[in-house]
Homo-oligomer: A and B are copies of this chain.
Amino acid sequence: MGEVNMKKYWSSRIKNQQPYVFGEQPKDKKYIKLNTNENPYPPSPRVFEAIQASLEELRLYPDPACSELVSAISQLFGIGEKNIFCGNGSDEILAMAFPAFFEPGRPILFPDITYTFYPVYADFYGLDCRTVPVEADFTIPYKKLFNSPGGVVLANPNAPTGIALEPDMVESIIKNNPDNVVIVDEAYVDFGGRSAVSLIDRYPNLLVVRTTSKSYSLAGLRVGWAMGNENLIAALNVVKNSFNSYTLGRPAIAGGAAALRDRQYFKTCIDKVIKTRQETAKALKGLGFNITPSCTNFLFVSHEKAGAEHIFKRLREEGILVRYFKKPRIDNWLRITIGTEEDMKAVVKKLEEILRTV
């Protein structure tokens, strides 16, 4: 059957749609898995207890307002419950924010090197986007994000570069887009970035998006949230209730809330990841790698003598998965998630061996 027939029933919206390509989730064997920025440590023990308790009423629909989770977020950040929106992972929140705030014909701005899901959302909803090239050192020329015709999406810290913008630069982007929404995607902020959340009272156009997938070790549970002016939150609720009223199940609401409440455990995990990142960066510099300054749970690295694709393939053969993006400007770079100290020692050792043979 030819291409045309296979897509006979597809809408014109999706016939040419290029979907997002996620990092591989292999099932063939056990890898040291450093390709999708998961946390190497398990979630707080409180999460398991909370999920266990949530199963008692599994036959009943979950609370569509996710009140328990909203309450935990409200307490953690000292913001109102009306300023919070929960979603089935931060990707879902972004997927709802694009149609809520952006308009066809009014281009959205974001850096050329950033999370590759942003242009996919835009395409899906028929929105235009315009990319701003990052500098040679991958820093974002933030003034070029001022006065966007349609809105801004800013990953801060940025991925896959790991680089964070200073808070005053983020604020100036928000301030200089008074008529459009600025989404600040803070998926990695807990590992060393500085959050824009304290600005939501002053800027009605700011939406901060978070996830529990990285810093709370809950990638497998699917819990994200957004914080912003209540009029933005109301818009997200319109989209949600035009799509799926019950996006978070009972285990997700209870488990997410428990993770957010356990501050001691969170801090311990974050500190360990940051310490391992610093040690790994030092070791990789010793091997001659270039490394961007990371405020995240990954390192973005490049080597003059060995091609990134070659290293990627060799590591894979050795049972270590990292992320390689075959894309302009970054096709000689690798993104390596910070695993346990032991994981990273193994990576450094393998890289040393690989470099010896090039």
Residues of A within 8 A of B (CB): 6-14, 17, 19-22, 25, 27, 33, 36, 38-43, 47-48, 51-52, 54-55, 57-64, 67, 88-89, 91-92, 95, 99-103, 120-121, 123-124, 179-181, 204-205, 213, 217-222, 231-232, 234-235, 237-252, 255
Contacts and interface: CB of A to CB of B under 8 A. Distances in A.
B55 A241 contact: no
Given A62-B222, A249-B249, A251-B252, 12 more contacts: A10-B100, A10-B235, A11-B100, A14-B239, A19-B240, A40-B59, A58-B255, A60-B219, A61-B220, A62-B219, A62-B220, A123-B242
Contact of A251 (B95, B221, B243): B221
A10 to B, nearest CB: 5
Contact of A241 (B20, B48, B57, B243): B20
In the complex, the count of this chain's copies comes to 2
A217 B88 contact: no
A315 B222 CA distance: 38
B58 A9 contact: no
A63 to B, nearest CB: 6
A173 to B, nearest CB: 16
Contacts of A255: 58
A220 B60 CA distance: 5
Given A20-B242, A242-B121, A243-B92, A102 B59 contact: no
A92 to B, nearest CB: 4
A120 B242 CA distance: 6
